[in-house]
Amino acid sequence: MSRGAVLVTGASSGIGLAIAQALLAEGFSVIGLSRSAPKGLGEGFTHLPVDLTDPVALTAALGDLPPLAGVVHAAGLLRVGRHDAFDFTDGARMWQLHVETSARLIGALAPRLSDGGRIVLIGSRVARGAPGRALYAASKAALSGLVRSVAAELAPRGITVNIVAPGATDTPMLRDPERASEAPKLPPIGRMIRPEEVAATVAFLLSPLAGAITGQEIVICGGASL
């Protein structure tokens, strides 16, 4: 028997795919929002093709969803550049995907979540600042204010709202040629974060045992922030 349906954005690859796999293994059904469909996730997975940065398309995709137990916004975009070479087009794209899409998802879906539901946004350790990543960091840092504000509003309904903020994670985005000028640094544990480790933390936040955790940012950094 399904534990309920969870919406996961960016489910076609990387952290989003790992989250979809973990939640399916935990007995949830998963509705994945992404441009392309992942393969091999089985009967418990439903794919809805959508450009998350298109407000009209996103609103239409959210209109016919079944009742949800949770929402996970894992889709992300990383573009790098120093302060003297900002690409404000890229900055606007990151802000739209990370912040505006988060707000649209929360605004549309929180009223329809069952009491005791869960919302998790994938942030980044870089939100605390890193050379060459200022515009990306700004878009991820904004999630903290968003999450803490919404968490306070939804707490009376038992709905939790949290951020899982990984460091450099071994995903296709890490190997994107667009970031070649600002290569990721290996954390002190001697390896990159694994998508499955991020997914396991998200799955815990969706579990009954995490009902008292809300408005928080959980950092998975392999010691990089020490």
* Beta-strand relationship, 29-34 and 5-9: parallel
- Take residue 78 and report the two structure tokens written for it: 């990383």
Is 138 catalytic? The answer is no
Instruction: Provide the residue type at 57 as one letter.
Output: A
Residues belonging to the chain: 226
Do residues 142 and 98 touch, judged by C-beta distance below 8 A? yes
* Beta-strand relationship, 217-220 and 160-166: parallel
73: region left, alpha or beta (phi > 0 left; psi from -120 to 50 alpha): beta
Instruction: Say which of 136, 169, 171, 201 is annotated catalytic.
Output: 136
Phi, psi of 5 (to 5 degrees): -100, 140
Residues known to be catalytic: 136
